Structure 1
């Protein structure tokens, strides 16, 4: 399988090489380079334009494979690596399994090395999901995704992957020009933050390559107490800074105004507090920013599976193992979260029964996608950071990494309008001729399906309108005839 499926470009066609393709209406569709992962036992049509771990690792012969992740099953991972790379490539794992002992099977792979980064704050984790691949033709590639390096994540869950183009080394002319690429700068800054010698060398090697063709913006989190100028470099304050400098919306008076909202879709919800001060006044406020403005009227909507979503999933109750939302946090937060929660419904992508380990943040204006963030960051203070000391410092507990897709990134000064369109949306081919459509595979359905109708009293005893929490027993039977015991 080609990594980009049927949307892949041809190396010998300059028009297709940029990811463009024309429809009969002369629309221009541009591949955002984001793809869902394949899910086993789905109809073939639902796995079109998807990727697998083995397809990602089999594009070319690798000389170095660097894996940033949280969980790792070494034997399974190595089974996904093609033989030529499995035996010859140097493979480095930076993982979050603090108590992990080096697997006995690692003796079979003398080309592997394992690092557990230092986390300075309690309850923090190395949660980033990314790969850096160096190839034998002197190119490299960056891949940012949402899956752990375990079989269930790649076979049964809803996940997504962003892949960079194959990057070439900088030419002498490019170096002399003094150009700076924001993607490269942030990636190297992130890698250097680990303060590990082998990763410092990795950052030096990465800086030798040209990232100009990466049409995405890195949004990263690193653990620590960040003060002064460092505050805006990470977490939700970094996202705020990017949006305030690069994002704009059409405020034409003659344009029909519809609802504006931000969707947070995640696989876990942290301890956010008894009221919505952090969720609405801090976190969501950062996401409301745009160039020279902030839209305080933009509402937040949450997409997270219900108890019945999990029970009826293709894995039964086991599908909830990737959704570690605690019942105590739900009880504390239900008063303000209950009205903005929406079910996991993904019929258009065929993934309603494939539980989401994917994390996405999406702004919708006038029924159109304004920006889209694919990330490892769940909805938590640990991932995004929380302001302290009257806003003078930002505390982040986790390592996280994601990519932000904005229409402005694809605007190369040409005459065409640029829009983000949902690859699984029903209206993606109804745009005006000459519009550049950036295809984003948003897996869940629109309109969203709220847990409760507007006038409905919240019923916390209903499995159809209660969020999944993984630490209390369930007496109902799943499709395998099993009850749930945490």
Structure 2
């Protein structure tokens, strides 16, 4: 079957169906194959174990693989070939060898779409096949200078210069000019003793490399208790527990995932200090690749002080009811391991929080409970706390994400129906305008010319099986361009949603979240709109101008180096750049062999 569209022509097997999870062994071969799903036996070169959870597909530590690490070895003169296994349905976790592996993450699909993990291979330039050789070296820099893991000035040795107005930060990216990392944070900075004297922590996430995570804690805190909240089951859970065996201070809490194809996708860090309590809500997995050359975002709270002894448990609330909503979100896990953290939070003063919490938890909800989670939660907040703006019908919605689920046979099934109604809500106005919607998602050229090259596409798991069913979606797509933040070549793993003025100088609201563009993450109405079904755990924070005593947020056009500007630091360029007729959205399980990437590689799914 072939599909033509303005943004690409693809050929796939007519037997491929994204309603079935198709396992793949992860075999590598010396010859490229068509990107049809297959059920091959394991290769001598590489074997991948899978579990049938197709919504997200991490491989936290393959010696060679894909979510963002590096090619095994590259040759700038002779393109290397990356033969990929495109249709992995599950996820695999394994200890990394010094962070040199790649992993896949954040593939979002709500109806069992086929997702894949790719195994890289260095192919010699001669036509004669040779046995693949696994290397652990970093590729040469495409910009003419060598990378080193931890430059001396990469991690803060003094309190970093941060903008406290919004407390929204980007991550540090290896390979960028120094000014573009000023005011950005690495996980080592977040866990630094400069931010507090750590007693215990909890890490909510989707994908983990335990050994790497432990190394990010400063030596003086490295044996402090850590609770890991995850969604792994069966074999994946066993592998995660195996990773932690050398670390007796690590304990686990398994999130309940009772609805098919749901995932525990929330990415949150809670830190309990001698000085108080802090929350960080981020978009990064706990693997090295996610903190290396990707664009990520986070909200980091101030240190919340302890309440006076004997205070009412409802004391210390913020005007945004952040404390109440955080406690409600944690209670939704129904997990005894989290009860102690619920008690601790109750003992702290969270009144300085100026953001609203927007979470998703798995379930089917009716009545007033429909507005507790997912996009209906966002709709409720925008209805109650956002202010109408003049000419709002001309204020476009902008969505930016790293993965896409099945959204229906046409745009009205979900995207421009219930989802757009949520995104266009501004106060109690009855106006529900059919406003423009700009969706920012990297093109093939964006990926090809990125710092990582084609392997960056492993964190952008939009599959051919999904794409060919929703060609209508691609007319909404805009390029990933981020010149103001220096991150045009650092592919996005961040997810943001906002409402902008027609001239893109003002924002009516801004959201940073773990939620990609999928019904699994945001929820979908059922039974004639009387019920909403949510599959996954997600978490984000909503910025509304009224919480900052503003009418709208001015857009900060040049957020680096950090300043005290009142402008909001949008992480990509506005206005968004629409795809040209020659642009194609990145599809991760079809070949790209016509033009090598910045590291001299081509991409050939197997």
TM-score (norm 2): 0.69
* Residue aligning to 1:38: 172
Structure 1: gaps spanning 5 or more residues: 9-18, 20-30, 412-416, 430-435, 453-458
* Residue of structure 1 aligned with 2:512, choices 374, 392, 416: 374
Asked if 1:388 corresponds to 2:521, the answer is: no
Asked if 1:338 corresponds to 2:447, the answer is: no
Separation of aligned partners in 2, 1:213 and 1:206: 14
Q: Greater helix share, 1 or 2?
A: 1
Q: CA deviation at 1:206?
A: 1.1
- Deviation per CA, 1:86-124: give whole Å up to 9, x if none: 12x110111234313245452332100122212011111
Q: CA deviation at 1:60?
A: 1.8
Separation of aligned partners in 1, 2:262 and 2:426: 30
Q: CA deviation at 1:376?
A: 0.1
* Residue aligning to 1:478: 597
**Compared with structure 1, are the counterparts of its residues 418 and 174 closer, same or farther at alpha carbon in structure 2 (3 Å cutoff)?**
farther
Matched residue SS, 1:121: coil
Separation of aligned partners in 1, 2:250 and 2:437: 43
Q: Answer whether contact 2:393 2:435 (CA < 8 A) is retained.
A: no
* Residue aligning to 1:24: none
Matched residue SS, 1:236: helix
- Deviation per CA, 1:162-212: give whole Å up to 9, x if none: 001100122369639967541011111111111110112321221221111
Q: Greater strand share, 1 or 2?
A: 1
Asked if 1:422 corresponds to 2:540, the answer is: no
Separation of aligned partners in 2, 1:105 and 1:96: 15
Q: Answer whether contact 2:316 2:351 (CA < 8 A) is retained.
A: no
**Compared with structure 1, are the counterparts of its residues 192 and 404 closer, same or farther at alpha carbon in structure 2 (3 Å cutoff)?**
same
* Residue of structure 1 aligned with 2:293, choices 148, 156, 159: 156
Q: Answer whether contact 2:523 2:533 (CA < 8 A) is retained.
A: yes
* Residue aligning to 1:124: 262
* Residue of structure 2 aligned with 1:319, choices 456, 465, 471: 456
* Residue of structure 2 aligned with 1:186, choices 325, 346, 354: 325
Q: Answer whether contact 1:371 1:404 (CA < 8 A) is retained.
A: yes
- Deviation per CA, 1:276-306: give whole Å up to 9, x if none: 1200111111111122213313221100000
Q: CA deviation at 1:42?
A: 0.4
* Residue aligning to 1:140: 277
Separation of aligned partners in 2, 1:41 and 1:326: 29
Q: Answer whether contact 1:341 1:450 (CA < 8 A) is retained.
A: yes
Matches within 5 A, 1:378-457: 378-411=516-549, 417=550, 419-425=552-558, 438-452=566-580
Q: CA deviation at 1:402?
A: 0.1
What is the root-mean-square deviation of aligned Cα atoms in Å? 2.4
Structure 2: gaps spanning 5 or more residues: 1-155
Q: Answer whether contact 1:93 1:113 (CA < 8 A) is retained.
A: yes
Separation of aligned partners in 1, 2:558 and 2:423: 23
* Residue aligning to 2:59: none
Matches within 5 A, 1:42-441: 42-58=176-192, 59-87=195-223, 89-98=224-233, 99-100=236-237, 101-102=239-240, 104=242, 106-137=244-275, 139-171=276-308, 175=312, 180-181=317-318, 182-251=321-390, 259-277=394-412, 278-293=414-429, 294-335=431-472, 337-366=473-502, 367=504, 368-411=506-549, 417=550, 419-425=552-558, 438-441=566-569
**Compared with structure 1, are the counterparts of its residues 49 and 258 closer, same or farther at alpha carbon in structure 2 (3 Å cutoff)?**
farther
Separation of aligned partners in 2, 1:3 and 1:208: 30
Separation of aligned partners in 1, 2:243 and 2:316: 45
Matched residue SS, 1:387: strand
Q: Answer whether contact 1:419 1:437 (CA < 8 A) is retained.
A: no
Q: CA deviation at 1:4?
A: 8.1
Separation of aligned partners in 2, 1:116 and 1:317: 33
Separation of aligned partners in 1, 2:405 and 2:240: 30
Q: Answer whether contact 2:172 2:184 (CA < 8 A) is retained.
A: yes
TM-score (norm 1): 0.85
How many residue pairs match? The answer is 437
Separation of aligned partners in 2, 1:356 and 1:259: 27
**Compared with structure 1, are the counterparts of its residues 152 and 402 closer, same or farther at alpha carbon in structure 2 (3 Å cutoff)?**
same
**Compared with structure 1, are the counterparts of its residues 339 and 111 closer, same or farther at alpha carbon in structure 2 (3 Å cutoff)?**
same
Separation of aligned partners in 2, 1:281 and 1:444: 26
* Residue aligning to 1:15: none
Matched residue SS, 2:291: helix
Separation of aligned partners in 2, 1:225 and 1:204: 27
Q: CA deviation at 1:470?
A: 1.0
Q: Answer whether contact 2:387 2:551 (CA < 8 A) is retained.
A: no
Q: Answer whether contact 1:36 1:441 (CA < 8 A) is retained.
A: no
